Chains A and B, each alone.
Chain A
Amino acid sequence: MTTFKDLIRRVKSEVREVSPDEAREMARQGAVIVDVREADEWVQGHIPGALFIPRGFLELRIEEKVPDRSQELVLQCAGGTRSALAAKALQELGYTRVSSMAGGFGKWKEAGLPIEVPRTLTPEQKSRYSRHLLVPEVGEAGQTKLLAAKVLLVGAGGLGCPAGLYLAAAGVGTLGVVDSDVVDLSNLQRQVLHTNASVGKPKTESAAATIRALNPDVRVVRHDLRLDASNVMDVIAPYDVILDGSDNFSTKYLVNDASVLSGKPSVYGSIFRFDGQASVFLPRQGPCYRCLFPEPTPAEMAPSCDEAGVLGVLPGIVGLVQATETIKLLLGRGQLLVGRLLTYDALTMRFQEYRVRRDPRCAVCGDEPTIRQVADLAWSCHFEPRQPAPA
């Protein structure tokens, strides 16, 4: 009769065993480490980059994950026994370069090699984000990324409110909100983070309260200030992505230049009456706002800001396009609006797309940039007609 000891002795004589150090070197050279432990062991810590397939599912899933039978594989478990059995099973499936890591994850940790402890979702989070978890492009790994992400909303107005509301609902873990205004009754037609009760209160306070009420997972950082050249680099520093929901050219150019100079992605949106624009500016990978519009529309050519007006739902559409792009950017999924300007005309209900190229003459991201630090742009809505020059 064959005992378990006999079996394991025989298996170990038939599979190649490697030490944790050797496994690490093999992984560096392209080997895939396959962790065959159970989920409850995996979540307490694992080898960074390892492929997780519990022993019970190994034969079922390996062909899908590693179709190439000649791929170098290092099987790993907690102590080196399950991985030896797993290695034997893979050899029988026709994998030719299979080894088992002796001593398993225990030995790996003892050797002081790097480990990764994944953040896991609480039962409440699993329920809250269940519709995300069901989407393969998000899943638990994606949701964990969102929870760890930091997004700065520039402006808690028409664009920032809908974007902030949905980013908060989606579980983006940290939302910075920059705004120096207080809520006005005329904002409520479109700025959906604010309510009747918040009229007269700072927009950041009102936004923070609404977001907290919606999703306690989200930490809101209030920046009760107007962005300018003196503070913009410090304000954006902790964030992964900037969502530009500003309503004026001074801030748009400031945010763009700060994005390029810091290398942080900026998700752009603009609105006017029934028209909207959106794009994603990824520094060094695509064009920036100045590549598209080297200079702002001068005040005398811009429609008077007081007359401008906007259909209330329009910033909802554009702000949610920005939120969508932000989430895709954080997840690393899909095709972003990089090098593409999306325009939306609510009156004709038409979305159009235009190609935006990186301009080698761009003042901030071109081949010979003239803008090397942020500066304030003297653009004001309050345009005074030029006085005729004295004779």
Chain B
Amino acid sequence: MAVKVQIPAPLRSLTGGQSEVEVDASDVSGLIDRLDSRHRGLKERLCDADGNLRSYVRIFVNDEDVRFLKEKATPLKTGDTVAIVPAIAGGRG
């Protein structure tokens, strides 16, 4: 299941500057593992030590927040677009 993942600016240092990557995964959990195996450190930014999605990063599948779907068990199919949207708060001054 090839899905497109949009990487926000604060995480692009982990993807070598890429703003979009394509990953094969059948659910959000698998997608995060796949991402982390290719871009070490991404999982830690998205999940806490218990593996739960962090409360300051949202993951949307086709514009819908996975918290209102099946969280990490949300299924993915080819052509889906996954967006990672972190809380941001400007620079200083």
* Chain A residues engaging chain B, CB cutoff 8 angstroms: 157-159, 181, 184, 186-187, 246-249, 252, 270-275, 277, 292-298, 301-303, 305-306, 308-310, 315, 341, 343, 345, 347-348, 352-357, 359, 381
Contact = CB atoms under 8 A, between A and B. Distances in A.
A341 B86 CA distance: 12
Contacts of A249: 87, 89
A354 B63 contact: yes
Contacts of A355: 60, 63-65
B81 to A, nearest CB: 9
Contacts of A273: 9-10
Contacts of B10: 272-273, 275, 302-303
B93 A184 contact: yes
B90 A270 contact: yes
A247 B9 contact: no
B68 A296 contact: no
B18 to A, nearest CB: 11
19 contacts: A157-B90, A158-B90, A247-B91, A252-B89, A271-B91, A272-B90, A275-B88, A292-B58, A294-B56, A297-B56, A297-B89, A302-B89, A308-B92, A343-B83, A345-B9, A345-B19, A354-B58, A355-B60, A357-B68
B48 to A, nearest CB: 11
Interface string B17-48: 00100000000000000000000000001000
A157 B93 CA distance: 6
B8 interface: yes
Given A301-B56, A354-B83, 20 more contacts: A157-B93, A186-B93, A246-B89, A247-B89, A248-B89, A248-B90, A270-B88, A270-B89, A272-B9, A274-B9, A292-B58, A292-B87, A297-B56, A297-B89, A305-B91, A308-B91, A343-B83, A352-B63, A354-B60, A354-B65
B85 A341 contact: yes
Contacts of A187: 93
